[in-house]
C-alpha cells in the first residue's frame, strides 16, 4: 500500500516470518536499528504448526520517503 502524505510518502508491506524465538528477536532488532525511516506497525505472533520450537508471525512495516 502506498500513500501520499504531502511531502512524505509511505509504503506499507505485510509478510509472514517463521523461526526460533532467538532468530525472530534478532530479525526485529535488525529492522528497528536500520538507518532508514522504517516503522514496525504491527506484529501478530502464533506458535508454528509445522515445527517444534518455532514461532510464526505476521509483520507489517511502513517505510517513509521524502
Q: Shortest CA distance to 48 belongs to which of 36, 59, 56?
A: 56
Q: Write out pLDDT tens, residues 13-61.
A: 999 999 988 999 999 899 888 887 788 899 998 876 777 778 899 999 9
pLDDT for the residue 64: 83
* pTM, entire model: 0.71
Tell me the C-alpha distance between 27 and 23, whole Å. 6
Amino acid at each position: 500500500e502506498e500513500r501520499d502524505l504531502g511531502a512524505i510518502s509511505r509504503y506499507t508491506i505485510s509478510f509472514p516470518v517463521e523461526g526460533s524465538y532467538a532468530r525472530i528477536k534478532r530479525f526485529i532488532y535488525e529492522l528497528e536499528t536500520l538507518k532508514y525511516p522504517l516503522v514496525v506497525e504491527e506484529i501478530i505472533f502464533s506458535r508454528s504448526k509445522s515445527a517444534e520450537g518455532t514461532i510464526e508471525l505476521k509483520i507489517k512495516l511502513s517505510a517513509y520517503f521524502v
